[in-house]
Amino acid sequence: MDKLALLAWIEEAAATGIPFGRYCLQLQATEMEIAQEVLLQRMQEYLSVMRDAIDYGLTGVRSTSGMAGGSGLRLQNWHANEKNENRILGQLTAKAAAYALAANEANAAMGRICAAPTAGSSGVLPAVLFAIAEERTTTQENLALALISAGAIGMVIASRASLSGAEGGCQAECGSAAAMAAGAAVELFGGTPVQVGHAVALALKNLLGLVCDPVAGLVEVPCVKRNAGATMIALLAADMALAGIESVIPVDEVIDAMAAIGHSIPDALRETGQGGLAATPTGLECAERIFGGRNRLNK
């Protein structure tokens, strides 16, 4: 696969003076030989699935194993109480965190979701997009354009590094999702293409090295809560970029660093369920309880 360069797209968008999302829409519609309207319509369908996944998660659904479920609803209720003096997050961030938990809990409970970029990290983009959409004013088309920006950012990461936890650890899944969402958030707030690039770099830098160590090999622990963490980092990175804070390391180099780090992560920490949290006494106990000693690896 040819390596894409995010900076090349950013410079072209900046030179033509159009927002990053609009630029990516033109680029992708041309390359895929489909009308821009068709592409936007597909994004609307994806957005609608994302919105439904949040709502399904907020009903408090639980996974088959029983390890995941109910935390999105719990955080939402915690923040819904106006008299609660112990709420730490602000309204937009609290909503985003609850949405990220809920959307990924929908995934764990075999709900219908949109992989973005993967199922395991499918809570981050819905959370960032819909928390901003509901707490600020934006249009359906702007949301679709933000999702296209996110997709374009993900393409660059896929071409230079990886979007798979089995290949690159959780940095490749939740890290990539956060980077994509950070760029999308800058786009929604009317930031420049250059700011989009810095947001992507800042988000990814904060998740470099994150390993993939799912308890019992299931997409539940710690995936659901990492979706919330990645969402917070995405919003922080976007906020920093909008304030004019820049990443010293250029975005494409940050992505290359992620690829290099991914290669040096041992197998036990790349979605095999054998190291990290999965190998803790409690992690092993959960695996034993869920699979009851049967269904073990064929060794």
Would you say 178 or 240 has its CB closer to another protein? 178
CA distance 168 to 177: 13
AA letter at 10: I
Contact between residue 164 and residue 91 where contact means Cβ atoms under 8 Å apart: no
From the list 80-88, 191-199, 212-220, 248-256, the region that binds another protein by CB under 8 A is 212-220
46 forms part of the interface with another protein (CB under 8 A): yes
Determine phi and psi for 272, rounding to 5 degrees: -95, -10
Q: Minimum distance from CB of 159 to another protein (Å)?
A: 7
Among 164, 192, 206, 231, binds another protein (CB under 8 A): 164
CA distance 55 to 73: 10
Q: Minimum distance from CB of 264 to another protein (Å)?
A: 20
Q: Minimum distance from CB of 290 to another protein (Å)?
A: 6
CA distance 229 to 131: 15
Touching another protein, residues 57-86 (CB under 8 A)? 63-65
290 forms part of the interface with another protein (CB under 8 A): yes
Helix (H, G, I), strand (E, B) or coil at 270: strand
Q: Minimum distance from CB of 198 to another protein (Å)?
A: 21
Helix (H, G, I), strand (E, B) or coil at 156: helix
**Exposed e or buried b per residue across 164-200, where buried means at least 16 C-beta atoms within 10 angstroms of its C-beta:** bbebbbbbbbbbbbbbbbbbbbbbbbebbbbbbbbbb
159 forms part of the interface with another protein (CB under 8 A): yes
Among 19, 72, 126, 154, binds another protein (CB under 8 A): 154
CA distance 165 to 212: 6
31 forms part of the interface with another protein (CB under 8 A): yes
171 forms part of the interface with another protein (CB under 8 A): no
Among 10, 75, 216, 251, binds another protein (CB under 8 A): 216
CB 35: neighbour CB atoms within 10 A? 10
129 forms part of the interface with another protein (CB under 8 A): no
Among 151, 168, 191, 275, binds another protein (CB under 8 A): 151
Q: How many CA atoms within 13 Å lie on the side-chain side of 87?
A: 21
From the list 6-14, 73-81, 114-122, 225-233, the region that binds another protein by CB under 8 A is 114-122
Would you say 152 or 182 has its CB closer to another protein? 152
Q: Minimum distance from CB of 53 to another protein (Å)?
A: 9
List of residues 6+ apart from 186 with CB closer than 8 A? 20, 195, 196, 199, 238, 241, 242
279 forms part of the interface with another protein (CB under 8 A): no
Contact between residue 273 and residue 29 where contact means Cβ atoms under 8 Å apart: no
Give the residues lining the site for another protein (CB under 8 A): 1, 28, 31-32, 39, 42-43, 45-46, 49, 63-65, 106-120, 122, 147-148, 150-152, 154-155, 158-159, 163-164, 166-167, 180, 216-220, 272-273, 290-291, 295-298
